[in-house]
Chains A and B, each alone.
Chain A
């Protein structure tokens, strides 16, 4: 079931205000420009920071509705996907593209409810090989490869 609309959380506007304040603070540390009459390198981050603070305050008062955050199985799928992508990122250069991609696709499909051993064995392997061929062989994109990972292709 899609999440239902909820009203009035103060969290998003507060985050916007904090981000804007942080940007203003960071922009103060930028050294001024040397050209005469130049508003300087700090101009854009200052303007963006001030806008975020002002708009955040406006939204804090307005308390506009937003979609509810996912819960239960939905949250597991989203958080699990983010975690698996981070793990994929961490192993990409260590294990090499073929091994890490195969592992990522298998885990991701399990997370989404695929239980057929045949599908879990063939689809990740086929997709890994296809992507490798497409990027590495056809487009010459240097994907990370190790001896162990390379043996899978």
Chain B
């Protein structure tokens, strides 16, 4: 039986199917609230997947991911505040449309573009991931070490802000990953005689703390007043003419978004901005981009949804997370006892192809839920923060406790939350920390095994593919440093 047939067969289970609308509904509700990103939502609900089988849990999280990515556009259009970072570019034309009384039209466009971008991205993912996985089956320890270094380098260097701070976060993640038994010899490290630490820091409490708890602390600093006024939303129809005119923008932006999403660390926000700029360039000087141009909304939304699917290519094919949301998905697999990587395409094809089909189904479900509930999601933005954030903290505590039923994990979650909060205040990105916790052990194990296999010689670093990947990592570092220097110079000149 082919992988697709196996995937289709497992997806007929009602418990898996039921998770599609549940996940999408949760995701839309989460994404519509500014401050609650897809990552926070997925981290909050990750503990719910403990009792589910791997595919059911994965489908739930993918539904949340897809739903939240779309719903981030709702506050972006209505209050000029992206609900999730990936919807940042949507504000550029979405909010001007709302100011002109065309919010309903912008919301419909963002929904259709999200669904189209997501479906195109899913199709491309289903095509590229198996190809890469087949190729990756021939990878040895040197190549895996190089890929892990590439992921770490890119994520740390493009994470925003100063590059050194990204690398500090990554080094901190490597230090956290060092706690517990080492992956080659099995010796205890940095546990200081504590039985709780000897098993290592559990990924889930760390993840829930660094995203959920830290975000709650950041948001609780200030009481967020709802800024949604009673402005005219306008009709939700877009007309057949517009649909035809927007198709090329949707297709092009989806391709750009997917391509950028495949690069580790390049999130939907960057993909959205790149696609927006390209749409603007192709639109010509006469097109009113930035003043409420529908093609701007479509480009940003199609690209960020396709970008999210692109980020899943290295996740499924190599077991290396492409972004933080993918890291949460990998965490769900690891908890379920599934070892992510190219081997999964042979050992558990139903899981991989079931996920692809589940994603496509989630986008179709999103179309229905989005169209039917569009007026309801607008109200979600008005939930007062004084009620919202205590609920988020409660879920973080219960989620961390549920891992091993121990308060030690809750303490880890709280400390991770405080660390994430302080890092945010000091403008250190937190994403490299999480990625380093996941990728660090992969890099360490493959480095040490390569050294053992090659009798202590470093010649394996010069193998063509390994050297090429490492050279790409170095080039990305140089490029980021150059870009940062240019930006700093421009800021200095503006200050004068």
A113 near B190: Cβ-Cβ < 8 Å: no
B46 beta carbon closer than 8 Å to chain A: no
B171 near A35: Cβ-Cβ < 8 Å: no
A117 beta carbon closer than 8 Å to chain B: no
B447 near A59: Cβ-Cβ < 8 Å: no
Pick from A44, A74, A139: contact of B177, CB under 8 Å: A44
Question: A37-51 vs B: 1/0 string, CB under 8 Å?
Answer: 111111111011101
Which of chain A's residues have a CB closer than 8 A to the CB of B401?
92, 141, 143
B425 beta carbon closer than 8 Å to chain A: yes
Task: State in angstroms the CA–CA spacing of A23 and B162 once bound together.
Answer: 23
Residues A35 and B386 in contact in the complex (CB < 8 Å), given A81-B393, A85-B397: no
Give the segment of B112-120, B134-142, B402-410 that binds chain A: B402-410
A69 near B425: Cβ-Cβ < 8 Å: yes
B472 beta carbon closer than 8 Å to chain A: no
Question: B420-435 vs A: 1/0 string, CB under 8 Å?
Answer: 0100111110000000
Task: State in angstroms the CA–CA spacing of A69 and B427 once bound together.
Answer: 11
A133 beta carbon closer than 8 Å to chain B: no
B221 near A45: Cβ-Cβ < 8 Å: no
B175 near A45: Cβ-Cβ < 8 Å: yes
B223 near A112: Cβ-Cβ < 8 Å: yes
The residue in chain B whose Cβ has the minimal distance to the Cβ of A100 is B397
Question: How many A-B residue pairs lie within 8 Å, measured between CB atoms?
Answer: 186
Task: State in angstroms the CA–CA spacing of A37 and B185 once bound together.
Answer: 12
A-B contact pairs, 18 of them (CB 8 A): A9-B426, A19-B172, A35-B452, A36-B456, A38-B448, A38-B452, A43-B448, A44-B178, A49-B175, A51-B171, A55-B171, A59-B162, A64-B161, A82-B414, A89-B397, A92-B397, A108-B393, A139-B402
B182 beta carbon closer than 8 Å to chain A: yes
What's the minimum C-beta distance from B481 to chain A, rounded to whole angstroms? 12
**What are the 10 tightest A-B residue pairs by CB atom distance, in nearest-first order?**
A37-B456, A41-B182, A48-B174, A51-B171, A112-B386, A45-B178, A48-B175, A108-B390, A41-B187, A141-B402
B394 near A81: Cβ-Cβ < 8 Å: no
Pick from B168, B222, B407, B421: contact of A55, CB under 8 Å: B168
Which of chain A's residues have a CB closer than 8 A to the CB of B47?
141
B426 near A12: Cβ-Cβ < 8 Å: yes
Task: State in angstroms the CA–CA spacing of A35 and B185 once bound together.
Answer: 8
A92 near B426: Cβ-Cβ < 8 Å: no
A146 beta carbon closer than 8 Å to chain B: no
B220 near A55: Cβ-Cβ < 8 Å: no
B411 near A23: Cβ-Cβ < 8 Å: no
A142 near B405: Cβ-Cβ < 8 Å: yes
Q: How big is the B interface, by class? A: 35 or more
B397, B440, B447 interface centre (most CB from chain A within 10 Å): B397
What's the minimum C-beta distance from B97 to chain A, rounded to whole angstroms? 27
Q: A52-B175, A66-B426, A67-B427 are in contact. List 14 more A-B contacts (CB 8 A).
A: A23-B175, A30-B187, A30-B190, A31-B187, A43-B444, A45-B190, A67-B425, A74-B221, A78-B217, A81-B393, A89-B410, A127-B394, A135-B398, A141-B398
* Chain A binding surface, main DSSP class: helix
B175 near A86: Cβ-Cβ < 8 Å: no
What's the minimum C-beta distance from B302 to chain A, rounded to whole angstroms? 32
Which of chain A's residues have a CB closer than 8 A to the CB of B223?
112-113
Interface size on A, residues (CB 8 A): 71
B175 near A3: Cβ-Cβ < 8 Å: no
Residues A105 and B451 in contact in the complex (CB < 8 Å), given A89-B407, A141-B50: no
Residues A1 and B222 in contact in the complex (CB < 8 Å), given A31-B187, A105-B394, A139-B51: yes
Which residues of A approach B to under 8 Å, CB–CB?
1-3, 9, 12, 16, 19-20, 23, 26-27, 30-31, 33-45, 47-49, 51-52, 55-56, 58-59, 62, 64-70, 74, 77-78, 81-82, 85-86, 88-89, 92-93, 101, 104-105, 108-109, 112-114, 123, 127, 131, 135, 139-143
Which of chain B's residues have a CB closer than 8 A to the CB of A59?
162, 164-165, 168
The residue in chain A whose Cβ has the minimal distance to the Cβ of B405 is A142
Which of chain B's residues have a CB closer than 8 A to the CB of A64?
161-162, 165, 427
Task: State in angstroms the CA–CA spacing of A86 and B412 once bound together.
Answer: 11
The residue in chain B whose Cβ has the minimal distance to the Cβ of A107 is B390
Task: State in angstroms the CA–CA spacing of A3 and B422 once bound together.
Answer: 13
A123 near B387: Cβ-Cβ < 8 Å: yes
A140 near B51: Cβ-Cβ < 8 Å: yes
The residue in chain B whose Cβ has the minimal distance to the Cβ of A124 is B390
Which of chain A's residues have a CB closer than 8 A to the CB of B448?
33, 38-40, 43
Task: State in angstroms the CA–CA spacing of A112 and B418 once bound together.
Answer: 18
B189, B223, B391, B411 interface centre (most CB from chain A within 10 Å): B189
What's the minimum C-beta distance from B213 to chain A, rounded to whole angstroms? 8
Task: State in angstroms the CA–CA spacing of A92 and B158 once bound together.
Answer: 41
Task: State in angstroms the CA–CA spacing of A54 and B451 once bound together.
Answer: 25
Which of chain B's residues have a CB closer than 8 A to the CB of A85?
213, 393, 397, 414
Residues A92 and B220 in contact in the complex (CB < 8 Å), given A38-B452, A44-B174: no
The residue in chain A whose Cβ has the minimal distance to the Cβ of B179 is A45
Which of chain B's residues have a CB closer than 8 A to the CB of A70?
221
B414 near A67: Cβ-Cβ < 8 Å: no
Task: State in angstroms the CA–CA spacing of A105 and B385 once bound together.
Answer: 13
Task: State in angstroms the CA–CA spacing of A69 and B411 once bound together.
Answer: 23
